Each structure stands twice: as structure tokens, then as C-alpha cells.
Amino acid sequence: MRHGTWEPQPAKRWEDAFLSGNGRHGAMVFGDPADERVVVTHHTLVRPNGSEAIAPPALAAGLHALQTALLAGDTRAAEDFGAQYPHVWVQPFHPAFQVRMRRSGAGDEPGYRRQVDFTTGQVRAGDGGWRSDVFVSRTDDVIVHRVSGRPGGLSAEIRLDERLPGLPDGLRFSRSVVCESGGRRGTRAVLSLRTEYGNGRTAFTGTTLVAVPDGRADTAGDSLRVTGASAILLLTRVERHPAGSDPGGAHTAALRALLESAPAGLDGAVASGPEDATELVFSRLLDRHLPAHRDAYLRAVLTLTTDPAERELPGSKLLRRPDSPALVERLFAAGRYHLLSSSGMLPPRLTGLWTGDWDTAWSGAFTTNANLNLQVSSAAAGALPEVSRAHAELVRGQLAHWRDNAREIFGARGIVAPSHTDGESGHTRHFERAYPLHLWTAGADWLLHPLVDELLTGGRPGPWLPLALVEAAQFYEDFLVSRGPGVPVAVVPSYSPENRPANASWGTVDATMDIAAARHALTTAADFRPDHPSAPHWRALAARLPPYRVNEDGALAEWAGPELEDTYDHRHISHLYPVWPLDEINPYDTPALATAAHRALELRGTENDSAHGRLHTALVAARLRDRELAGRALHHVLHGDYFHDSLMSAHYPGRDVYNADAAHALPAVLIECLVQSSPDRLVLLPSVPRECAEGTLRGIRTRFGARLDLRWSGEHATAVLWPSSDRTIDVVAGSDRYRLSLVADQEHVLSVPGRK
């Protein structure tokens, strides 16, 4: 399957459940004929833990003394700055419940297959006598689930079941099951589960409308018992709300309206068989959903030359062939599918949009100092503006809190982003002596950069973006410390996530990432708002930042001060921000610094083998045109057992800790290895992995506003460009480098000749 995956057995672990989602609701489908389970999730489902009321503490009064001490050489001065405040994890993301359908009389039948179609978002499972179809509508915001069997042979017990791993104490549940006879419509029932959090202020309610056109349906305690049916249709929604409200009635009315949205509703199919009525509704809702999902997913496609037989293998078997181009092709498709499906009202969390456990690692948060940007890194080039808009929604919704962080902690105007967020609060609350993430000031620039890329590639992330860029620059106007005439300004305190110098404490002076972020924020604001009164000052201030340092090992140092020694064995490579994604350091314009950055990457360890570190390494190596290093990082992920049967990934090797970093970042790695662009440059085949010796990549958006299709075999390639405006760019193709004038709306064909 080029655009899907399949398995010959149901999922036994929630990690292996196939996934569907619309960027709000998520569904995890087990596909078990005897005990079908669909775990329901929603981006808003975070459990109150007290952190939601915590604002950033007023630390600004002590900032000058801290800056003075650090600049005087006190390497431990920052340890007490904010250390008296507790480190409080953000509200943890959790599942809602599982829609559980236990089927009586189910036996082993031949021909079982469970599959997910990436082009439709539809998860299907079935054998000779039973079939389950699930998708999450991007248009109608509902989980649609149809189960069918032999005429009159479907009997099952249906329950909304909150009993999932890690279920905490202190929750209060109330449920109801209401049946009604619909005459020729058969029977309808509404199952409702209300869950109140322990804070007494917040709750969430799930509602499932069940339609049974034939057979019988009766209440059985807190379950619905169906007997003698041919098909069952379930429509499910979840809403988080204040504890004093009850959205159940509105849910039911909205779901009934959807049920009637098929031609003639359920009544219209009675003549051809009552089981067809559910098929009509299912098909109508699917047809409405398809354009929004399918068109987005298919905008960019990677096709590799591979063994057709391997392309048809189940995902679990294909994962055991890590050198197969068919695996790379499928993981690219799966990563793109899961990224799109988890992005809507918010971008993907550490777990995307899914979890089957109430005790989710790292609270299932948005970790912003590496993970989130890596996950959305293919959105601009990969033509997924839906993902960029979701990322923009997270940023836009938290700007007020980012202003609080800047004012209260640093006494500055502008914005400072936190290192973690639950999607609601953007306040900083990660205070520790070790990992003092409250000292990280580069976050606003880091998180705004994907939106700048989206703008460059032709997208429209939002009219508020230029103002946010101005606010990022204003922060550095106030925060950077002057050390006297002719001396560079200082970024102090400064922190390089999540590392420390070998000979100093965590909070320091002039971390390379902070210098890069300050320079980029100031110059980008001036570029986008050249009419702003402060634009000349921003450019002048950027020019006064410290230069990057090359250490005694010939490597780009993680801190600009020569007194600070590098720590190489670490999963983060924050100091290579100027290489990827900024492209400030590259082999074409800054070859000496590119060589130093390459040396830093060679020396970097992997610490605990986190997937994000491996793929971040691959992205930087691709920018530096190191095919071997990029290939080794990709090879390690493909060989390291990072992927579940669902093709969602894990944080560590051996499928340890469900985590979307590898799944969502892998498409970006492959794109960067094949084609790179900046506003004035196109690079073709910079770092082609061995697994991608021949193929096509179509639908890529460039940062100079052109669409690109690429076909290659070995080192030979043909690229076709469709620019949206007149532009002159620098083309790097194999050993050739030349200028190319592009004419708007005119096709341009480029050739990569390979080695001469």
C-alpha cells in the first residue's frame, strides 16, 4: 500500500491501534471482531492539576543583579533565580473513554484484515461475517463508526467505558442510556458519559448516538444491548466544559441532524434493506469529509522505486525490513497522514492527538524547545497549510501570556514563550536549578519561524504575524545588555536547551541559540516592518550581537564565551539553530562557519537515543550536505524499532514511550535530503539517503514562492518549477551552481547532470 497500511490481526495494545483524526477529535481503532474498541480523544482534554492558575512570578526586580553577577564570572549565579518556585507540570493530556462493542457469537472467521487508508482517514477492519469502518470527519467534527454483519446476525453490547490505563482517582462519572423506537427508522439510542474533574469546576461530556435500523436495542444498566441487527451506526462527540453546564442536549440534537443529513435520512433506504440506511449516512458524511482531508494529504507525494511485493506487506512485517525503500515510502506517507490528522484547532502534541493512557509521558504536552518545531517542520515545504494554521492558532492564542512572561520575569516588553504548554496556558512554570527552562528566551523566535516559512512558501498564517514579529524584536530591545562602546551586547541570562557547559552551571551568558534567535528576531521584524520607527535600531542592535565562536576542536561552540567548555554527549543540538532551520550558516555563503557547524555535529553524542535528537541531527546534516551523517541518523531510526504497528512512533528505541516526534519529523528529513530552498536559493539532491536511490517527489513548496516536482535516479534529476512571481534565484544542482530567472506562472525545467 502506497497510501495506507494494514495488519492481519486486531491491535492488542493501544499503541498499535490505527489512528484517525480531524485536528480536534481523535480515534484509536483496535479492530477486534469480538471486542471492538475505539478510544476517543480530543485536543482540549487536559486534566486540571493546579498549574492552570499559575502565572509567572515577578522576578524582574532581581534580574539586574543576576546579570551583573553572571557577567562578572559567577557561573552559578543563575541557580537561585526563580529556584524558590516549584516546577509544575502542565495539565496532562488524556483520553476521554473508549466506545466498546462486545459482540456475542463472534468467532474466528477467515480473511481478517485491518487497514487504514491515508487518503480518506478511514480505518477498516473485518472478516467474513463482520466489518467495522471508522473515520473522523474534518467537515462535520464527528467520529463516525459503522459496524455491519450478516443480515440479522449482529448482536453486541455497547458501552462508553472510561476504564483505560492510568485512570486517576478523584474523577466523578455519571452516565445515561436512553432508547427510543423510530418505527420504520428502527431504534435509536443516546449514550452519554459525563466526567467531572476533581477541581469541581471543569468537566467533559461524551455523547454517542446509536442508530439500529433493524433488530432490537434495549438498555442494560449503563450499556446498550443490540440483538438481531444487520448494521449499527455510531456518531460520537466530546466536549470539555464548565462543570455547571450540560452540553448533552445540544450534542444529541447536533448528532441527530447529522443522522438526517443522508438523502431522505434513514427512512429512504428501507425498501432496499434496513442495513443500507446506515451505509447511506456513513457514505454521505464520508463524502463531505473527503475533499478537506484527501486534497490536503495528496498535495505532496513521495514515490520510491521499490519491490512491489514489499509495498504490499503489512506494516509490522515491513518494519522488519528497515533498508527497504518501501518502508521509507510508507513512513513518509504515514507521517504526513498522522501530522495532518492531528492538526486543526491545535498542532500535534508529543503524542499527536492520541493516547490510550491517562498517565501520558511528559503530560502529553506541547514541548516547544525542540519537539513541536520538529513535528511541524514539513508543513511549509510539504504543502500542509492546515498544519501551519494549527501551529498559528497555538501561538496566537497564547501571545497575551507570552507578554506576561516577558514583563514579569525579565521586565521587558515583547514576548517570551514557555518551554511547555498544555494548549491553554502559555505561562512559564518550569522552574528548576537543573533544566532552568524559565531562562530560555529564544522560544518566541523559534516558534514564529515556521510561520515565517509558511508565509514565504505562499501561505497565510494570519494577519497578526507581523505584530508578533515586532514584539519578538521589542523583547530583545529591552533585554540585551550593553557592555560598553565597541563591545558586543550580551544575552544574559542565557540557556541552551537542554544542555549545560562542562565547567559551569546551566544559566550562563551568550548561548549560541539565543544569539541566533535574537539576531533573527531583530532582522526579521525589520524585514517585515521596514516602515516601523524602530527598524533601523533593530538592525543596528542585531549587528552588535556577539559573533559565533569556533572552539579549540574546530567546532561551532554552544556558548560564545571562550571560558565555557562544550558538552558534546547530548540529544539536543540547540546551538545549530543558525544552520537548521534558519539557514544563516550554510556551505554557500558562510563556508567556514558551515565547516565548524559540521564539526560540532560530528562531535555531538546522542545521550539517550531520543528520536527527536536523531532526526534533528539528520535535518542539520542535510543542510550541511553530509549524506553520510544524515543517512546514519535516518538509518538508526529505521533500525532502532521506533515504530509501532500503527506506524506512530516512540520516543526511545524498542518502542518505548508513545511519541509522535519521529513519525511527524521523518517527512521533513526526507524532503530536506532531496530539495532545499531559501528566498533566493534552490538546492537539489543535497543529501540523498541510500534508501531513496530513485523516485519522485511532487507538490513541494519553495521559500521563493514556487511549486516543485522532482524526479531523480542516482545523482541525475529533473526538477519542474511553477513560480508564482518573477524571481531570480541561485540554483545548486550537483556540482553546478548558476543563476536562474523565473517568470511567474511559467514552467521551468531544471536538470541535475550528476558527477562529471
Of 613, 176, 621, 190, the C-alpha closest to 370 is 613
> In this predicted structure, which of 50-59, 130-139, 275-284 has the lowest mean pLDDT?
275-284
Here the cell at position 120 is 480518506
Q: Confidence band (pLDDT; 50, 70, 90) for 273?
A: low
- For residues 658 and 357, what is the distance between their CA atoms, to the nearest angstrom? 10
> In this predicted structure, which of 76-80, 261-265, 601-605 has the lowest mean pLDDT?
261-265
Percent of the chain clearing pLDDT 70 (strictly above): 97
More confident residue, 297 or 1: 297
Predicted local distance difference test score (pLDDT) of residue 268: 44
Kindly state the average pLDDT of the residues 719-741: 95
Kindly state the average pLDDT of the residues 741-749: 97
Q: 140 and 128 in contact (C-beta within 8 Å)? A: no
- For residues 292 and 295, what is the distance between their CA atoms, to the nearest angstrom? 6
Q: 118 and 297 in contact (C-beta within 8 Å)? A: yes
Region of residue 309 (phi > 0: left; psi between -120 and 50: alpha; otherwise: beta): alpha
> Hey, where are the domains in the chain?
4-43+91-292
Predicted local distance difference test score (pLDDT) of residue 429: 87
Predicted local distance difference test score (pLDDT) of residue 277: 85
Q: Confidence band (pLDDT; 50, 70, 90) for 172?
A: very high
Region of residue 647 (phi > 0: left; psi between -120 and 50: alpha; otherwise: beta): left
Predicted local distance difference test score (pLDDT) of residue 379: 98
DSSP string, 488-519: --B--SB--TT---TTS-SSBS-BHHHHHHHH
- For residues 604 and 574, what is the distance between their CA atoms, to the nearest angstrom? 11
Of 165, 145, 206, the C-alpha closest to 361 is 165
Kindly state the average pLDDT of the residues 328-339: 98
- For residues 361 and 662, what is the distance between their CA atoms, to the nearest angstrom? 16
Q: Could you report the per-residue pLDDT of 223-233, keeping only the tens digit for each?
A: 999 999 999 99
Query: Model-level pTM?
Result: 0.96
Q: Report CA-CA distances (Å) from 682 to 267, 583, 623, 736.
A: 58, 12, 12, 12
Kindly state the average pLDDT of the residues 386-413: 98
* Count helices and strands in the chain by DSSP H and E runs: 16, 29
Q: 480 and 495 in contact (C-beta within 8 Å)? A: no
Predicted local distance difference test score (pLDDT) of residue 261: 74
Q: Per-residue pLDDT for 182 more than 70?
A: no
Predicted local distance difference test score (pLDDT) of residue 262: 60
Instruction: Say which residues have a Cβ less than 8 Å from residue 430's Cβ, sequence separation at least 6.
Output: 87, 418, 419, 420, 437, 438
Q: Could you report the per-residue pLDDT of 682-718, keeping only the tens digit for each?
A: 999 999 999 999 999 999 999 999 999 999 999 899 9
Here the cell at position 626 is 553530509
Predicted local distance difference test score (pLDDT) of residue 433: 83
Q: Could you report the per-residue pLDDT of 438-484, keeping only the tens digit for each?
A: 999 999 999 999 999 999 999 999 999 999 999 999 999 999 999 98
Q: Per-residue pLDDT for 274 more than 60?
A: no
Kindly state the average pLDDT of the residues 530-536: 97
Which class does domain 4-43+91-292 fall in?
mainly beta
Of 328, 416, 421, the C-alpha closest to 368 is 421
Kindly state the average pLDDT of the residues 157-172: 96
Predicted local distance difference test score (pLDDT) of residue 265: 44
**Inter-residue long-range contacts of 539-545, CB under 8 Å, 24+ positions, other chains counted:** 541/476, 541/477, 541/480, 541/489, 542/518, 544/488, 544/489, 545/480, 545/488, 545/489, 545/491, 545/515, 545/518, 545/519
DSSP string, 397-422: HHHHHHHHHHHHHH--SS----SEE-
Q: Could you report the per-residue pLDDT of 625-650, keeping only the tens digit for each?
A: 999 999 999 999 999 999 999 999 99
Q: 1 and 332 in contact (C-beta within 8 Å)? A: no
